[in-house]
Amino acid sequence: MGELTQRTYFVTLFTTAFSSMDDVRRQAPEAFQRHIERTRRLHAEGVVLMAGAFLEPQGGPISTMAVLASREAAEEFIRGDPFVELGKVAHHEIREWSNMLR
């Protein structure tokens, strides 16, 4: 688990409606907790291979990404995300990514 061995992966990119992590914690603490728990569970199950928030640019908006092994898993990851359900994701997309190190 966690080792990238395929040729192709699917990266979900999220741009949120939050300008800082403080905004996230203040405006949507329950969604944030569910997002973290769900992502960790999906990682433990081998569905999400990597995930995290971009550190730049500071001052927002907060942008995040996750790497998944299939388009279907990426679509489900987006559909079930608590911030998407709450309407706090301004934009999301799935990009097919080629692993040159396989």
What is the model's pLDDT at position 67?
Answer: 97
* Rounded-to-integer distance, Cα 66 and Cα 58, Å: 20
What is the model's pLDDT at position 86?
Answer: 95
pTM: 0.88
CA dihedral sign of residues 7, 54, 48, 15: negative
* Rounded-to-integer distance, Cα 46 and Cα 41, Å: 9
Other C-beta atoms closer than 10 Å to the C-beta of 9 total: 20
Predicted confidence pLDDT, tens digits, the chain (102 residues):
457 788 999 999 999 999 999 999 999 999 999 999 999 999 999 999 999 999 888 887 999 999 999 999 999 999 999 999 999 999 999 999 999 887
Range list of H helices, 1-102:
21-27, 29-44, 71-79, 82-86
